[in-house]
Amino acid sequence: MAHKAGFVSIIGKPNAGKSTLMNALVGEKMSIITPKAQTTRHRILGIVNDENYQVVFSDTPGIIKPHYALHESMMSQVQGSIVDADLILLMTDVNEKHDEQDVVKRLQGSQAPVVVLINKIDQSDPEAVKQKVTYWEELLKPKAVFAISALKFPNTSHLLEYIVEQMPEHPPYYEKDALTDRNDRFFASEMIREQVFKQYKKEIPYSTEVVITAFKEDETIYRISAEIIVERESQKNILIGKNGEMLKIVGTYARREMENFFQKKIFLEMFVKVISDWRSKKNYLKKFGYED
């Protein structure tokens, strides 16, 4: 059987029951919950592993405070986790009276399929639940709507099965057994990648891959070396910028994020390397974890 793996972003208001749902979904199969508040594209809540699949559930960073001040960066992060997702779970409370416009607006730019979860149906009556289901079907035309009670009827196996069905074929993103060094490397590369997305125009990020070539942990400092790989000389020049200015900016921000994340001093060195058309070369795709 082909292995499936993907990212599922759970979005919704803070009290909608996301963590209760996570606990129900992840249950005994939980292998990783990262306690670190993530600063990268995915704030990972939990990873569900099975022989044939790996589902990475991530939370959107403090997405939707009903009265948020629109921090550009925060929102671009939310947008990022919506763009990156293979599936979006929109968690909503059956008794939710708040305006969900802000959520809906966020979702309009997304290509990822949306599944609406109407939670806390144990606190409601069948008629109200039915109305809510209809409301969401009309508003979002989602791929599916599930009415659940994450707390009272935590048997969410049918929901998990549905989620797994939606996942693309892909090798696992994380080691299946433990929080290993590989994860820290992954997070480090994500933080560099995030800055590449933030600092450059469209075509650069998509032809860029970040590879951590060394990750040395000492008591007080992590020494990290990274290669940023691009497809063409011209992209390399843009990445580095005049007198290396652009790369310096990326490095500064990425290092700051890492220090925050790892709670250690970080020494970061970055090199830019051209591998022409790496995206169409099987061996590189494999090396960078895109191919089985």
CA dist 235 and 51 (Å) reads 40
**Does the annotation list 16 as a binding residue?**
yes
**Does the annotation list 9 as a binding residue?**
no
pTM of the model: 0.55
Most confident residue range from 109-118, 203-212, 255-264: 255-264
Residue 61 CB partners (closer than 8 Å, separation 6+): 38, 43, 74, 77, 78, 81
Would you say residue 269 has pLDDT above 90? yes
Would you say residue 256 has pLDDT above 60? yes
Map tokens 């560099």 to a residue. 192
**Does the annotation list 46 as a binding residue?**
no
Q: Categorize the per-residue pLDDT at 82 as very low, low, confident or very high, splitting at 50, 70 and 90.
A: low
CATH homologous superfamily of 181-287 equals K homology (KH) domain (3.30.300.20)
**Does the annotation list 119 as a binding residue?**
yes
For the chain, the structural domain boundaries read 4-166, 181-287
Mean pLDDT across the chain, nearest whole number? 76
Residue 141 CB partners (closer than 8 Å, separation 6+): none
The listed CATH number (3.30.1130.10, 3.40.50.300, 3.20.20.60, 3.30.360.10) that belongs to domain 4-166 = 3.40.50.300
What pLDDT score was predicted for residue 37?
Answer: 41
Residue 62 carries which DSSP code?
T
**Does the annotation list 35 as a binding residue?**
no
**Does the annotation list 265 as a binding residue?**
no
**Does the annotation list 120 as a binding residue?**
yes
pLDDT above 90 covers a percentage of the chain that reads: 18
**Does the annotation list 15 as a binding residue?**
yes
Of 272, 263, 270, nearest to 239 (Cα)?
A: 272
Q: Give me the mean pLDDT over the 182-201 stretch.
A: 81
**Does the annotation list 109 as a binding residue?**
no
**Does the annotation list 6 as a binding residue?**
no
**Does the annotation list 61 as a binding residue?**
yes
Q: Categorize the per-residue pLDDT at 44 as very low, low, confident or very high, splitting at 50, 70 and 90.
A: low
Neighbouring CB atoms inside 10 A of 35's CB total 5
What pLDDT score was predicted for residue 225?
Answer: 93
Q: Give me the mean pLDDT over the 62-76 stretch.
A: 44
